[in-house]
Amino acid sequence: MPKKVLVTEPIVDSVINKLKAHFSVDVGQRGDYNSEEALIRDIPQYHAILPMLSNPITSEVLKAGERLQIVANHAVGYNNIDVDAAHKENIYVANTPDVLTDSCAEFTIGLILAVSRRLFEAQRYLLDGKFDGWEPLGFLGKELQRSTLGIVGMGRIGQAVAQRAKAFGMDIIYHNRSRLAPETENTFDASYRADIERLAEEADILTLHCPLTDETKHLVDKEVLSLLGEKAILVNTSRGPVVDEKALAEALHDGTIGGAALDVFEEEPNVHPRLLAAPNCLLTPHIASASQETREAIGMLAAEAIIGILEGQDPNKIPNLIQP
Ligand code: GLV
Ligand code: GLV
C-alpha cells in the first residue's frame, strides 16, 4: 500500500504530480481544512500533510495524526504549526525558506514605491473621472533616493529588501534579534539599531520581515507608530499580528503616520473596518510570494521534504526541516 499524503488545498499541478509519483495523494478544496475539527477528523489516515498557513496544525491535530511523519508547510512562516508539539510526537516539520525571498522582496519594493508615489490613490482619481490635466501640485509623493529605510527582521527576506533598496539610493538601518556580522552589514551599508523605537524614530519607511512569535506580537504598537511620524510609511508583508491593527488604523486616520501598505492582517481574511476606510493605505490579500515561479518552488520544496521523510532519507540531508 502506498503511503498517503494530504495536500489541504489545490496547488500547482506539477507538485501534485510529483507527489503522486510516490504516494497516494488527496487534495482538499479551498478552505476545507481551515478548522482544527476537519483536520482532526481526517488526519489519522495520512503519513504526511502539506498544509497552507491558514490551516491550524495544533497539538490536538498532531496527536490525532497517528501515522503522521511530517508536516511540510506551504510557506516560510510556520506560526500555524505547534512545532514543539510536533517534535514531541516525533513528527518532522518543514517550511520553505529561500525560494520565496526574491518574490517577497520585489513585492515589498513594489509596495514601498506604490505608497510613496501614491499610485493607487492616483489611479482611483483617474478612474473616478477627476483627471483634468497635468497639475503642478497633484499627488506629490516622496522619493526613495536619500530616504531612510528601517528594516525589522534582517533574515533572508530583510536582506533581499536591503539589497534592492540600496540600488534606489536609500539609507538602510535595521533591527534584528541579533546583530549581523560586520561584513554582512557592509554589503548593504546597513546600520544596526538596538531597539525598534530608535529604528522607528529615524525611518522614513519601516518594513517588517520578522517571524510572528510571542516577542514580535504587536511589536508595532501605538508608541512605535507615533515615533514613526506623520510623513512615514509602514509596510507589512510579514504577519498581521506583528502590528496592532487597531492602533494603525487610528494612526492613519488621525495623521500620526503618513501611509501604510499591508499584505497581511491580524485576523485573515478579515481586515479591520477602520483600515478599509483609512487614507493612503494600500491593502493586498497576502500575495507577497504569489509569483508563478515561487509558488511552484514552494510546493516543490515542501514535496521534496515529504518524499525524503516518507522514503527514509537521512533527515540531516533535508535542508528545510525545522530543528527542535
Ligand atoms: C507566506 O506568508 C509565507 O510565510 O510563506
Ligand atoms: C524568513 O522569514 C526569511 O527571511 O526567509
Which grid cell is 183? 561584513
pLDDT at residue 321, as a whole number:
98
Q: Is the pTM of this model over 0.80?
A: yes
CB atoms within 10 A of CB 66: 10
Tally of CA atoms within 13 A in the half-sphere of 87 that contains its CB: 8
Task: Please give the mean pLDDT across all residues of the chain.
Answer: 97
Give the closest residue (by CA) to ligand 2 atom 5: 156
| Dist. CA 300–CA 284, nearest whole Å | 25
| Dist. CA 52–CA 186, nearest whole Å | 36
pLDDT at residue 272, as a whole number:
96
**Beta-bridge mates of residue 217:** none
Which grid cell is 211? 517571524
Contact by Cβ (8 Å): 228, 207: no
The ipTM estimated for the assembled molecules is 0.66
Average confidence (pLDDT) over 149-167:
98
Instruction: Please say if 286 is a catalytic residue.
Output: yes
Catalytic residue among 239, 266, 295, 304: 239
Q: What is the per-residue pLDDT across 164-206, written as a single tens digit (0 to 9) for each? A: 999 999 999 999 999 999 999 999 999 999 999 999 999 999 9
Instruction: Please say if 239 is a catalytic residue.
Output: yes
- Which domains can be identified in the chain, with CATH numbers? 4-99+292-317 (3.40.50.720), 101-283 (3.40.50.720)
Contact by Cβ (8 Å): 80, 73: yes
Q: What is the per-residue pLDDT across 8-36, written as a single tens digit (0 to 9) for each? A: 999 999 999 999 999 999 999 999 999 99
Which of ligand 2's atoms lies nearest the C-alpha of 97? 5
| Dist. CA 8–CA 13, nearest whole Å | 14
Residue from 82, 147, 69 nearest 109 by CA:
147
Give the closest residue (by CA) to ligand 1 atom 5: 75
